[in-house]
Homo-oligomer: A and B are copies of this chain.
Amino acid sequence: VFEHAPWVAQRVTAQRPFQTVASLDAAMMEALRGASDSEVRAFLNGHPELSGDNLPTDLTDASQAEQSALGMAGTSGAAELAGLNRAYRDRFGFPFIICVARHTAANVLRSLQHRLRGDPADELQTSLAEIGHITRLRLLQRVHGAGAPPSAGRLSGHVLDVASGRPAPDLRVDLLQEGRRAVQALTDADGRVSGLLPPGPLRQGQYELEFHAGAYFAARDVATFYDLIPVRFTISEAEAHYHIPLLLAPFGYSTYRGS
């Protein structure tokens, strides 16, 4: 759970048993924050560099799984990564650490570029906060397995037809993540779509829902100004609920961040 650092777990064994995953994680993070500066820096330096195209063979299984799921391989960002990693380590003395499960590949790069300009003292704290995200997810994964971790993020949509006064059923909705088509769904009888993203934290970054209004109205023999209604938005909280309603008329629509 704590990369190459069994000592973190060892320091909290006396506190066993832990009632919740959260309290175990909090205790271990406290042990880490309570360690000496040189221990903390050694711990940070025990982390692998984030890889673009070729994952190193000596990654821990957890790192291997997390970096593979990020899907940066083959993207335009992969090539930039090596140079940015080097610049980061040169400036701060430890590798760039981020909980990749909470970001899209593009957002990992944006964060790296942003944090490269940060203050060294702040950046140490940011790295520890990212360690906290990583280890919390690793612990949840070991305890709960594939089940949705508690308090994960959520993305949903809802289409209301304000000409008929009813929810819009069977309307196709596509989800794009950083411009890439990720998944496609149909609204249910109540006009809703959910389950667009896998359970767990949301990957922070740029998203777009495309509502296929043209086909919906064509099936009802209604003329419309819109074929496809794209709504682009930023996910900036991995554990929040993002609800995207669309109030749809043939020649006008509204959208907002719902609750």
On A, residues with C-beta under 8 Å from B are 160-167, 190-191, 206, 214, 223, 225-230, 232-234, 247, 249-259
Contacts and interface: CB of A to CB of B under 8 A. Distances in A.
Contacts of A251: 161-165, 256-257
B225 A257 contact: yes
B160 A249 contact: no
A172 to B, nearest CB: 15
A252 B160 contact: yes
B257 A165 contact: yes
Contacts of A167: 259
A244 to B, nearest CB: 9
A227 B223 contact: no
Nearest to A166: B259
Q: How many copies does the complex hold?
A: 4
30 contacts: A160-B257, A160-B258, A161-B251, A162-B252, A162-B256, A162-B257, A163-B163, A163-B249, A163-B250, A163-B251, A164-B250, A165-B250, A165-B251, A167-B259, A190-B259, A191-B259, A214-B234, A225-B233, A226-B233, A227-B232, A247-B254, A249-B249, A249-B252, A249-B256, A251-B257, A252-B254, A252-B256, A252-B257, A253-B255, A254-B255
Contacts of A214: 234
Nearest to A243: B160
B230 A226 contact: no
B226 A256 contact: no
A214 B214 CA distance: 28
Nearest to A163: B163
Contact of A259 (B160, B163, B228, B229): B160
Contacts of A253: 254-256
Nearest to A244: B225
A176 to B, nearest CB: 11
